[in-house]
Structure 1
């Protein structure tokens, strides 16, 4: 198990974590910031200059989960991780990867009034310098913007008037009561190429339905990994039923077949998108989301999808929409129609973006897969 202590700078995460070592037998302090420090020392300056924070490095987010899983093979546990984690997509990526490795996560939010946070930051700056103060104060607005979402997801403890020991005692009580448990579908990492089928559903304005997975960053199409011996179109129908509680009345029509090349650590494989047709307002009102997998759904225009989908999925959606307009399915390789042109016509993500992680199946049999 990993006890993730979230919150603004000055909330008392580190001091409480050190107190927890005395209160939770077998516990080990796990500081993900050390991974960021190591990456700063190893990565070229040119790469570091492209990010504002080490959390923006995909390698940091990947290593946080992998290192936690590795540590738990060496120590009794739990791991105590005092780390501010405000961005939803980073939370999804890290916690989803921990779930895939069967690592239980307890998410606790340590909160304090802003006046107290500022006073603690000033006190910390006395030893760490003014640059530390500017950094911490600069993140307070981001914390304020994320507070509503964090409070709804994590178990909150107000540390405004608590000593570090009292805070740790409250954390121990919360853990014993089962508070902060993260209900995330467990999608083990693939061990070979996969075939995944996604289904595009449209409203009366031809906006496309997207869903928001809890276990990976970015939005997605309804769909998932094709099981052994299963026809891809039938897999799309099954996934739509499992994820949304919706029974498609007809076989979906193929729009795009996209071969995704392997890029370590991803194995790649075939990604198919089908046209599931229009979904009326009455049917849309009956959609049901499995909370361990999906937190939200919405109909979006193509332009709106650009702010929600990762580049790989966005390019695939755009090709699928063109195929739907023209009434002719497309075969793609790495998002580009075969024979459509030279490497210069490849989308930007093909050359620069991180590879997309293709999840497997959860123990409950339902997962949103790559499409």
Structure 2
């Protein structure tokens, strides 16, 4: 298990985590900031200059998950992770990756009013060593308080909130420990198992009255996706595609929605991904009344929308957009295309 202590700078995450070590037997402090520091030391300056924060690095988000899993194999007990995580899509990606490894998360938000946070960040006792470095770090943390205020609506819905404004770190830790024992802050994100080999996946393209295509935004991985999922052992791909659409959108693809294969794409293995075969079917036209009745499983999908091909280019990862591009070409031609790594063959 991981107890993730979220919140703004000045909320008391690290000091509370240290106190929690005494209150949760067998727990270990896990600081994802150390991974960010390691990436700063390893990555070229050019790459670092392309991001504002190491959390914007996909490698940081993946390593946070992989390192947590490795640590739990070593120590067994709960990990205490004091780390601000203010972008919901990053929270979804990291917590989804942990869920895929069957690692439960208890999400705790240590909250304090902005006036208190500012006072704590600027307090002289909070900084030691080089005054110039301290001033730079203080300004950096103060500049990120607006992002915390922006994130508060989803944070308070997602996490168990502990107001630390009038609490000592020990008192905050006692409340966090009690909340963990009660099961508060449990992460309800979908637990999608990590593949152990090549997979066969089937997706469905559904179109509105303007011939825009339907995309969905998964909570458990970055980037938008087509409705669909992995074909189970012994399951026909068309049945798997229809099953996934029903599970994800509440839409039953009956006789009025025949599935026609548009694209069969072999995705090469790119460690740590195993690749496999990706099928895209034409699910036909989705009338507006049916689209209005779509619903999403909150633990799996965050949103859906109809998009043009140019809009899809800004939402889909490159390999998925290439697959969509060729699928739309096959649809216009009334045929089927075979692809290898997103490129037609034959």
Would you say the 8 A contact 1:92–1:215 is kept in 2? Answer: yes
| CA RMSD of superposed structures (Å) | 1.9
Query: Out of 240, 243, 248, which is 1:243 matched to?
Result: 248
Q: How far apart are the structure 1 equivalents of 2:245 and 2:73?
A: 37
For residue 281 of structure 1, what is the aligned residue in structure 2?
288
Q: How far apart are the structure 2 equivalents of 1:148 and 1:304?
A: 27
Deviation at 1:33, TM superposition (A): 0.8
TM-score, reference length from structure 2: 0.91
| Unaligned residue ranges in structure 1 (runs of 5+) | 340-371
Matched, 1:206 2:211: yes
For residue 23 of structure 1, what is the aligned residue in structure 2?
23
For residue 123 of structure 2, what is the aligned residue in structure 1?
123
Matched, 1:67 2:72: no
Would you say the 8 A contact 1:316–1:335 is kept in 2? Answer: yes
Deviation at 1:302, TM superposition (A): 2.6
Q: How far apart are the structure 2 equivalents of 1:141 and 1:315?
A: 37
Q: How far apart are the structure 2 equivalents of 1:260 and 1:95?
A: 25
The aligned length equals 339
Q: How far apart are the structure 2 equivalents of 1:146 and 1:201?
A: 32
For residue 328 of structure 2, what is the aligned residue in structure 1?
321
Deviation at 1:88, TM superposition (A): 2.3
For residue 182 of structure 1, what is the aligned residue in structure 2?
187
TM-score, reference length from structure 1: 0.86
Matched, 1:49 2:49: yes
Deviation at 1:76, TM superposition (A): 4.0
Q: How far apart are the structure 2 equivalents of 1:148 and 1:325?
A: 43
Q: What are the residue-to-residue correspondences of 1:330-349 with 2, within 5 Å?
A: 330-338=337-345
* Secondary structure of residue in 2 paired with 1:307: helix
Q: What are the residue-to-residue correspondences of 1:2-41 with 2, within 5 Å?
A: 2-41=2-41
Q: What are the residue-to-residue correspondences of 1:234-273 with 2, within 5 Å?
A: 234-250=239-255, 251-273=258-280
Would you say the 8 A contact 1:195–1:226 is kept in 2? Answer: yes
Q: How far apart are the structure 2 equivalents of 1:270 and 1:134?
A: 49
Query: Out of 313, 317, 321, which is 1:310 matched to?
Result: 317
For residue 344 of structure 1, what is the aligned residue in structure 2?
none
Q: How far apart are the structure 1 equivalents of 2:320 and 2:29?
A: 37
Would you say the 8 A contact 1:202–1:208 is kept in 2? Answer: yes
Range moving further from structure 2, 267-276 or 245-254: 245-254
CA distance 1:24–1:219, change in 2 (3 Å): same
CA distance 1:328–1:264, change in 2 (3 Å): same
CA offsets, 1:50-95, max 9 Å, x none? 3332222222211211211122222242111000112222212211
CA offsets, 1:102-124, max 9 Å, x none? 11001111121111111111126
Would you say the 8 A contact 1:89–1:218 is kept in 2? Answer: no
CA offsets, 1:223-255, max 9 Å, x none? 011122322222211211222222112431112
Query: Out of 278, 282, 306, which is 1:299 matched to?
Result: 306
Q: How far apart are the structure 2 equivalents of 1:83 and 1:145?
A: 17
Q: How far apart are the structure 2 equivalents of 1:90 and 1:305?
A: 20
